[in-house]
């Protein structure tokens, strides 16, 4: 199993240098100076390929499931290209997010803006990561009937993610704790806009367009997919928030910092909804403080308030609800063409249900 996963990743990674070299060739063709070309190469190599690549690979997986067969070399390349466009989008968000948050490390190395000689140039570098998406889409998809749908999807999703980021930034600034701004409703809004659209809906919708699934005036398959993937993305982020508090660092692979960083997390919002006045006072006095003892007091209060149990209840309810939504997808009609398949969504759900990291 792990071997197949590693092979799949390796094959996907094999497409990256081809796309990077196309971007660099374009710069050369435009007569850009060598130092600008090598700067862009370093920007791309540093920021794009290093993550888990889940979003990108899920485009390929979804296309395979929808087509119900192994992909031709051209189909693989095009679906992987769309996957790498999501990874470029992710890199654009992360490079700029890290500056906004004044973060120190990302994926186990210094954040790009903290690399010697980069600093504020990273702002323009992030724009260039975003620009790469549209260069590649135009080069490889301009003649496809669904080209404009791809453009709209990337533009809409990008704007939605930025809206989510705005709400997050003004709700939970790291240097100013005000828990009265927090609520589960606001948490849900942030999560849906900042994470669910680009991490869950975008990869599947790209795969659907590539497979030629059409929009319909009633029971539109894209609306159906969105109605399942947005709750799925919400569940994923709630789980992420819970693991930040509850998973041991050696399992999680990083040290959770949501409490110290004043994050608008599911845990604090659940605690706020349940807190007695005395408990609320402890939350107000200790949340978002750069102080290990304050963090310990919050964690002890979470335990005392039964946040683990609340999460277990949330997880079961979310799983049942999402499974119920998946069952509303009609089983394969024997008609022409590719149509939506339950399997696409089950694969996502199975990857995240009861995960430990």
Q: Look up 52 and say whether it is catalytic.
A: yes
Active-site choice (241, 242, 244, 310): 241
Q: What confidence score (pLDDT) does residue 336 get? A: 63
- d(CA 251, CA 26) in angstroms, rounded, equals 43
Residues of the chain with pLDDT under 50: none
- d(CA 163, CA 155) in angstroms, rounded, equals 12
Tokens of 40: 């862009």
Q: What confidence score (pLDDT) does residue 1 get? A: 65
Please work out, in degrees rounded to the nearest 5, the angle formed at the alpha carbon of residue 152 by the alpha carbons of 148 and 153.
115
Q: What confidence score (pLDDT) does residue 334 get? A: 54
The CA-atom distances, in angstroms, between 282 and each of 140, 172, 227, 245, 296 are 56, 18, 38, 17, 11
Q: What confidence score (pLDDT) does residue 331 get? A: 79
Active-site choice (20, 67, 78, 92): 92
Nearest to 51 by CA among 16, 20, 78, 96: 16
Active-site choice (52, 69, 70, 354): 52
Active-site choice (93, 200, 236, 242): 236
Q: What DSSP assignment string belongs to 109-168? A: EE-GGGSTTTTTHHHHHHHHHHHHHHHHHHHHHTTSTTHHHHHHHHHHHHHHHHHHHHHH
Q: Look up 97 and say whether it is catalytic.
A: yes
Tokens of 309: 């149990």
What's the half-sphere exposure (Cβ side, CA atoms, 13 Å) at 65?
Answer: 20
Q: What confidence score (pLDDT) does residue 335 get? A: 58
Active-site choice (97, 156, 261, 284): 97
pLDDT in tens, 188-215: 999 999 999 999 999 999 999 999 999 9
SS3 of residue 306 by DSSP: coil
Do the beta carbons of residue 124 and residue 139 sit within 8 Å? no
The CA-atom distances, in angstroms, between 176 and each of 38, 76, 260, 282 are 40, 47, 12, 17
Active-site choice (21, 45, 101, 291): 101
Q: Look up 168 and say whether it is catalytic.
A: yes
- pTM of this structure: 0.94
pLDDT in tens, 242-254: 999 999 888 887 8
Active-site choice (61, 125, 168, 244): 168
Tokens of 211: 């497979």
Q: Look up 341 and say whether it is catalytic.
A: no
SS3 of residue 69 by DSSP: coil
Domains of the chain: 1-142 (1.10.600.10), 144-356 (1.10.600.10)
Q: Look up 242 and say whether it is catalytic.
A: no
Do the beta carbons of residue 77 and residue 15 sit within 8 Å? yes
Active-site choice (240, 244, 310, 348): 240
Q: Look up 3 and say whether it is catalytic.
A: no
Q: Look up 236 and say whether it is catalytic.
A: yes
Q: What confidence score (pLDDT) does residue 254 get? A: 81
- d(CA 275, CA 97) in angstroms, rounded, equals 32
Q: What confidence score (pLDDT) does residue 268 get? A: 98
Q: What confidence score (pLDDT) does residue 249 get? A: 85
Torsion of Cα atoms, 183 then 262 then 91 then 85, to 10°:
-10
Close Cβ partners of 135 (under 8 Å, ≥ 6 residues apart): 23, 26
Q: Look up 241 and say whether it is catalytic.
A: yes
Q: What residues does 110 pair with on adjacent strands?
A: 105
pLDDT in tens, 277-288: 999 999 999 999
Q: Average per-residue pLDDT in the chain? A: 95
């Amino acid at each position: 199993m792990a071997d197949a996963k590693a092979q799949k990743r390796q094959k996907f990674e094999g497409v990256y240098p081809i796309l990077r070299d196309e971007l660099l060739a374009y710069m050369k063709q435009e007569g850009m100076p060598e130092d600008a070309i090598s700067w862009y190469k370093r920007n791309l190599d540093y920021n794009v390929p290093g993550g888990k690549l889940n979003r990108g690979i899920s485009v390929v997986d979804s296309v395979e499931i929808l087509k119900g067969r192994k992909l031709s070399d051209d189909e693989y390349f095009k679906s992987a290209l769309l996957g790498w466009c999501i990874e470029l989008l992710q890199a654009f968000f992360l490079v700029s997010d890290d500056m906004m948050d004044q973060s120190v490390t990302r994926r186990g190395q210094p954040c790009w803006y903290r690399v010697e000689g980069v600093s504020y140039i990273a702002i323009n570098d992030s724009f260039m990561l975003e620009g790469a998406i549209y260069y590649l889409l135009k080069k490889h998809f301009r003649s496809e009937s669904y080209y404009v749908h791809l453009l709209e999807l990337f533009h809409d999703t990008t704007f939605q993610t930025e809206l989510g980021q705005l709400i997050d930034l003004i709700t939970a600034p790291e240097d100013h704790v005000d828990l009265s701004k927090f609520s589960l409703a606001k948490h849900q809004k942030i999560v849906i806009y900042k994470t669910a659209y680009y991490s869950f809906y975008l990869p599947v919708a790209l795969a659907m367009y590539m497979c030629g699934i059409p929009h319909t005036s009633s029971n539109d398959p894209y609306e159906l997919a969105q109605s399942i993937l947005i709750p799925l993305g919400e569940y994923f982020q709630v789980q992420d928030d819970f693991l930040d508090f509850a998973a041991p660092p050696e399992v999680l692979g990083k040290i959770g910092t949501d409490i110290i960083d004043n994050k608008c997390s599911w845990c604090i919002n659940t605690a706020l909804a349940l807190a007695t006045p005395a408990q609320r006072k402890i939350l107000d006095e200790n949340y978002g403080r750069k102080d290990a003892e304050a963090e310990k007091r919050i964690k002890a209060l979470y335990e005392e308030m039964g946040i683990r149990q609340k999460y277990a209840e949330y997880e079961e309810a979310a799983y049942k609800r999402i499974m119920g939504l998946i069952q509303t997808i009609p089983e394969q009609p024997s008609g022409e063409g590719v149509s939506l398949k339950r399997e696409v969504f089950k694969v996502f759900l199975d990857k995240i249900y009861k995960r430990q990291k």
